[in-house]
Amino acid sequence: MRKEQTDFLVIGSGVAGLRAAIELSGEGRVIVITKDVPTESSTEYAQGGIAVALSDEDEVGIHYEDTLRAGDGLCREEAVRALVEEGPERILELISWGAEFDKEAGKKQKLAFGLEAAHSRKRILHAGGDSTGKELERVLIEKARTIPSIRRLPFTMASDLLVEDGACYGAVVVSGRSPLAIFARATVLATGGLGQVYSITTNPQVATGDGYAVAYRAGAALEDMEFVQFHPTSLYLPSAPHFLLTEALRGEGGKLLNIRMEPFMARYHQEMELAPRDVVSRAIFTEMGLTGAEHVYLDLRHMGADFVKKRFPRVFSTCLRYGFDITAQPIPVCPAAHYMMGGVKTDIMGRTNIRGFLAAGEAACTGVHGANRLASNSLLEGLVYGRRAGLSAAESPLSAREVSEKEKAFFFPSAQPYSIPAHDEIRGDLRRLMWQNAGIIRNEASLLSARERIEKWRYITEKSFLSRRELELKNMIEVSALIVRAALLRKNSVGAHFRSDYPQKEGGWQRHISFVRGREE
């Protein structure tokens, strides 16, 4: 096996990974790997914006309370406090690096703030109307390109961490079908989410849960894996992907109608379209069941064509490409898997239970989102906790000398390039199974059935692979099993986790469910 040594290894090139790499760049050599092109991540597709208490009418304390309320009693308060208190500084830093956020009409220097569901103040910054994530990715990539100590390896996927005696010395990665061992003093995991384990998702193709599976196999603690957030509104067209239709569409006044063109949200929550995401998703899902439809409608017609085109240019152009003029027609929408609140358990500095191994962004679980993420807090989390993980990685307890010794002594068993018969059928069956049995509404019968089906594919997780395609399926099976297991253990309904057989918050609901190599804590 080929070997290479660096000071720091960052796995993932979204907002959290890039911010960690930038923070580490002054401390030594940094390698950033990404399994596709550097821009292909959930960051690139984030439309809704970034939440931060910077407007005249807002306060950090109000952002703090809104985040706790959305988290439904399971946020870690110190994690939320770090997010909202450091958020303004991270945004001002981005602006100094060239980020161009939208301004108020006629006021070139005054930032424009929008309102989204479950926020009590206008605090959402946007860029290009609905291309906020793309702008953040652009700025961070450009910043990283100016730093000679940062080296990027595209089309490179982490296979397994190099862990011995409770310490991480880097990772084995695969580029094409060629394995490479990258040794490092500290490794930061920032691989994003797992939406692709569901058949209906807003996530890009790369979001197959790789980071969770790699960390789990290495002995890292995973927490809150039952809390998968389903975005209420994705474009529903048989010939189109499930394109995300930003929260801001409802924040600006978009109305939800059922298949009979009747408004229905008033029956489910007093805040109607601005209710928390889990409430709106379940309301839509329930309404679809009551009317026998596969979608509902999001109506923007009353908002005015000029406003919609200017405010949501990306949504307008994408829908138009598929034959829908959102200024003249109601948009068919349905919920879709969108974000993982759980992940690799860390403290508020990104540290895990493995020395020299850190995690940040959607791959991590600091407890900042609790049971239900507040809209537009994810990009802010990537900035704040990516930097924090970088600070911790720079203080890694492992020395360069220790890493060099491990590089000489580490034993690598010979890898066999297995392939998976019926790969596409298994992948499709798994994704449909997770959507139907472990999706928006779950119960014991559906989860037990899912567990039984997944167990039949367990043999795949016990093999080694040298290609992205096989590694992805292995990881998807691993994380699906963890989601189902956690959902079975949580016999109550909290936030995004809703069980029809336990619809209320009941005894023990405030606990966090953790796994380490298959045992819950």
Parallel, antiparallel, or unpaired: how do β-strands 296-299 and 255-257 relate? antiparallel
Q: pLDDT of 163-180, one tens digit each?
A: 999 999 999 999 877 889
125: pLDDT strictly greater than 90: yes
Instruction: Looking at 48-117, list the stretches that DSSP marks H as alpha helix, in order from N- to C-terminal side.
Output: 60-70, 77-96
Q: Indicate left, alpha or beta for 169 from its phi (over 0: left) and psi (-120 to 50: alpha).
A: alpha
Q: Is the pLDDT of residue 67 over 70?
A: yes
Q: Which two tokens stand for residue 90?
A: 């991270």
Looking at per-residue confidence, does 9 or 243 come out higher? 9
Question: Which pair of structure tokens corresponds to residue 113?
Answer: 């703030």
**Cα angle for residues 334, 338, 343 (degrees, 5° grid):** 150
pLDDT tens for 326-358 read 999 999 999 999 999 999 999 999 999 999 999
Domains assigned to the chain: 233-335 (3.90.700.10), 414-520 (1.20.58.100)
| Of 302, 309, 296, nearest in space to 253 by CA | 302
Q: Are the C-beta atoms of residues 337 and 203 closer than 8 Å to each other?
A: yes
Side-chain-facing half-sphere of 147: CA atoms under 13 Å: 23
- Give backbone dihedrals phi and psi of 149, rounded to 5 degrees, phi first: -80, -10
Q: Is residue 521 predicted with pLDDT exceeding 60?
A: no
- pLDDT, residue 414, reads 65
| pLDDT bracket for residue 323 (50, 70, 90) | confident
Q: What's CA 224's distance to the chain center, in Å?
A: 13
Task: Put the strands of the sheet holding 113-114 in their side by side order.
Answer: 50-51, 124-125, 113-114
The percentage of the chain sitting over the pLDDT mark of 70, rounded to a whole number, equals 96
* pLDDT value for 242: 80
Q: Could you report the per-residue pLDDT of 378-395, keeping only the tens digit for each?
A: 999 999 999 999 999 999
Q: Is 284 helix (H, G, I), strand (E, B) or coil?
A: helix
Three-state SS string over 315-334 comes to HHHHHHHCCCCCCCCCEEEE
pLDDT, the chain, mean? 92
User: Quick check: 16 pLDDT over 80?
Assistant: yes
Phi then psi for residue 159, to 5 deg, are: -100, -50
DSSP string, 22-65: HHHTTTS-EEEE-SS-TT-SHHHH--S-EE-S-STT--HHHHHH
Directed axis angle between helix 378-394 and helix 15-24, to 10°?
30
Residue 297 carries which side chain, given as an amino acid letter? Y
**Whole-number pLDDT of residue 48:** 64
- Mean pLDDT, residues 352-373 taken together: 97
- 267-302 confidence digits (pLDDT tens): 999 999 988 888 899 999 999 999 999 999 999 999
Residue 147 pLDDT level (bands cut at 50, 70, 90): very high
Under 8 Å between Cβ of 381 and 361: yes
Q: Give the pLDDT confidence of 297-311 residue by residue, as tens digits.
A: 999 999 999 999 988
Q: Which residues contact 177 (CB under 8 A, 6 or more apart)?
A: 417, 466, 467
Neighbour tally for 302: CB within 10 Å: 8
- 459 pLDDT exceeds 70? yes
Taking Cα atoms as reference points, which of 505, 221, 177 lies closest to residue 371? 505
Q: Which string of DSSP letters, residue by residue, matches 347-416?
A: -TTSB-SSBTEEE-GGGEE-SSSTTSPPTT-HHHHHHHHHHHHHHHHHT-S--HHHHHHHHHH---PPPP
Q: Which residues are catalytic?
A: 277
Residues in the chain: 521
3-class DSSP assignment, residue 430: helix
Q: Which residue reads 């529903």 in tokens?
A: 236
For 418, phi then psi, to 5°, come to -70, 150
Q: Measured on CA atoms in the order 113, 117, 121, 123, is the torsion positive or negative?
A: negative
Angle between helix 77-96 and helix 378-394 axes, rounded to 10 deg: 90
Is 194:207 a contact under the CB 8 Å cutoff?
A: yes
Listed range (103-107, 150-154, 503-507) with the worst mean pLDDT? 103-107
Query: What's the mean pLDDT in 183-188?
Result: 98
Binned at pLDDT 50, 70 and 90, residue 118 comes out as: confident
pLDDT tens, residue by residue, 392-443: 999 999 998 999 998 888 877 666 667 888 999 999 999 999 999 999 999 9
Q: What is the amino acid identity at position 471?
A: L
The H or E element containing residue 433 is helix 423-437
Please identify which residue in the block is written with the tokens 């695969």. Answer: 174
pLDDT at 374: 92
Distance of CA 435 to the CA centre of its chain: 17
